[in-house]
Amino acid sequence: MSAMPIALLVTTAATGAVGVAVLRTLMVLRRQVAALHAELAQNNAAAARGRVPAARRSADVDEIRAAVAEALAEERERELAEARAFWAAQESRDGSDAPSLLGLPDSELFLPRQADFVGLEPVAEHGADADEFAGDSPELAAARRRHPSHPDFVPVASPVVNDHERTVATLEELAASRTELADVRPGPLGTLDVYVFADGTTLCMTPGHRETAERLAAALRAGETPILLGGSGISGAYTLTFTCGEEKVYILADRVIASL
């Protein structure tokens, strides 16, 4: 028998022995891992039971609810009793502090009725002022009535000028008469622009629009005299339309003040 088959047989036997040992080791490890899993699950369950209390029985819940309701009812009754006592003391204090009319108790106080005045004639009151100024002249009496100290004085309302309506009327007059624009004075930083017409009317517009004012001023220098075609007030603002030859210039201003 040669040495080669013997070596193969020995190698095979050794390999089989190693495989059997590995299998046994794996089986032991598997049992140990399963035991560890079971122990860990038991520990987690015990910890969960320790953190979460057990549910109360229905009898305990009913007893707790009854005790809470009883305590709330007692507290409510105590508050109502305190409120009644407070208001009773307040009413008694108000009744004792309030003085009676003419120093008499209510039972002895006599108040006349409407029927008690039947048959009585009213007493006529004579005005002292009428007798005092009976000899005054009509002019003096009228002057006395115009004095603020007189009872018949009526203040005369001063006429109020509506700036908005007056400005719109001025714009309409300038447009209807086709009054020429004589001068344009742009304000600094667009604060206020002044437009002077040939008839002396002055329009102050705010806020100013420097580009528009410069276009109108350039038209004046070029000999194309601007003419106001129309102006109107819309929602508190004003719109003006000028014509410069073939060109039209539109101006929108928050406020326009026309000279008187």
0.75 surpassed by pTM: no
Spans of the chain below 50 pLDDT: 101, 123-128, 157-161
Question: Given this model, what pLDDT does residue 162 score?
Answer: 55
DSSP 8-state assignment for residue 192: -
pLDDT per residue over 70-121, tens digit each?
A: 998 898 888 778 877 877 777 777 666 555 545 555 555 555 555 555 555 5
Question: Given this model, what pLDDT does residue 118 score?
Answer: 53
Phi and psi (nearest 5°) for 182? Answer: -100, -30
DSSP string of 131-178?
A: HHTTT--HHHHHHHHHSTTSTT--PPPPPPP-HHHHHHHHHHHHHHHT
Tell me the sheet residues that pair with 193. 205
Token output for 83: 């409120």
DSSP string of 207-246?
A: S--HHHHHHHHHHHHTT---EEEEEEEETTEEEEEEEETT
Question: Given this model, what pLDDT does residue 153 score?
Answer: 57
Question: Given this model, what pLDDT does residue 124 score?
Answer: 46
